[in-house]
C-alpha cells in the first residue's frame, strides 16, 4: 500500500498531460464508434437493397405466375364459349331454321359489326325479321342488359335491317330460375340444353320494332 508521502503533487503539466490522454482516448473511441456506425449503416443499406431486390423478384415472379394463370383461365373460358357457340349454332342449323314462330332464310354466326365492336353470336335473317341469339357457356342476370342492347347496336351496324322486327334469345348451357324469370319478363327467348337436346321457350317472346 502506497504511503501518502509517496504521492507526488499534481502539476499543471501533469494535469494537461492527463487531459490530452483523455482527449486522445475519447477521439479514438469516437472514431471507432463512427467506423462501427458506418459499417452498420452500410450493412443495413445492403440488407434493405437485398430485401427490395428480393421483393421485386418475388413480385415479378408473382406477376408472371398470375399472367400465366390468367392466360390459362382465359383460354379455358374461350374454349367453353366456343364450344357453346358451336353447340347451339349446330342445333339451330339442324332445326331447319324454324324459330320464334318464323322461317328464317339464313343463319350466320359470329357476325361482326361494321360501326361498333359488337359481335353477334347467332343471327337469323329473312325478309322482315331478325333473330339475335346471344350465347354464353354460363350466363348471368348481368348479361340481360347486354342482350337487350343488341337490338340497337345491330341496327346501327346494319342499317338495311332498320325496318325489320328483331327477336332476342339467350342461349346458355345452364339456366337458373332467376335468370330464366328475367328473360321471360324482358321478352327474351330462353334457349337451353336439356339432356341431349336444345329446348326453346319463346311463348313470352317480344318483337322489337324500329
Distance CA 187, CA 181 (A): 10
**Residues 101-116, mean pLDDT to the nearest whole number:** 86
In the chain, domain spans: 86-201
Note the pLDDT of residue 135.
Answer: 93
Adjacent-strand bridge partners of 167? 131
Split at pLDDT 50, 70, 90, the class of 4 is very low
Segments in the chain forming alpha helices (H): 12-94, 144-157, 177-186
User: What is the percentage of the chain residues whose pLDDT exceeds 70?
Assistant: 67
Note the pLDDT of residue 122.
Answer: 93
Residue bearing the bigger pLDDT, 43 or 157: 157
Report how far Cα 210 is from the mean position of its chain's Cα atoms: 36
Domain 86-201 has CATH 3.40.1350.10: yes
| DSSP type of residue 115 | S
- Please write the tens of the pLDDT for every residue from 158-202: 999 989 999 999 999 888 999 999 999 999 999 988 877 888 899
Q: Cell numbers of 40, please?
A: 452498420
Amino acid at each position: 500500500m502506497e504511503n501518502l508521502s509517496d504521492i507526488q503533487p499534481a502539476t499543471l503539466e501533469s494535469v494537461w498531460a492527463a487531459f490530452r490522454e483523455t482527449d486522445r482516448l475519447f477521439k479514438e473511441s469516437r472514431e471507432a464508434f463512427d467506423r462501427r456506425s458506418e459499417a452498420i449503416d452500410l450493412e443495413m443499406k445492403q440488407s434493405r437493397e437485398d430485401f427490395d431486390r428480393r421483393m421485386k423478384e418475388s413480385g415479378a415472379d408473382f406477376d408472371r405466375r398470375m399472367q400465366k394463370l390468367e392466360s390459362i383461365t382465359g383460354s379455358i373460358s374461350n374454349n367453353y364459349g366456343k364450344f357453346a357457340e358451336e353447340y347451339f349454332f349446330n342445333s339451330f342449323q339442324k332445326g331447319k331454321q324454324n324459330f320464334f314462330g318464323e322461317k328464317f332464310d339464313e343463319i350466320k354466326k359470329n357476325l361482326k359489326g361494321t360501326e361498333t365492336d359488337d359481335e353477334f353470336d347467332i343471327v337469323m335473317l329473312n325478309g322482315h325479321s331478325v333473330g339475335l341469339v346471344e350465347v354464353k357457356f354460363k350466363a348471368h342476370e348481368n348479361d340481360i342488359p347486354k342482350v337487350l342492347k343488341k337490338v340497337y347496336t345491330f341496327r346501327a351496324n346494319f342499317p338495311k335491317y332498320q325496318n325489320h322486327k328483331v327477336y332476342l334469345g339467350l342461349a346458355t348451357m345452364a339456366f337458373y330460375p332467376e335468370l330464366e324469370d328475367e328473360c321471360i319478363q324482358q321478352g327474351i327467348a330462353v334457349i337451353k340444353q336439356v339432356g341431349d337436346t336444345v329446348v326453346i321457350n319463346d311463348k313470352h317472346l317480344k318483337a322489337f320494332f324500329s
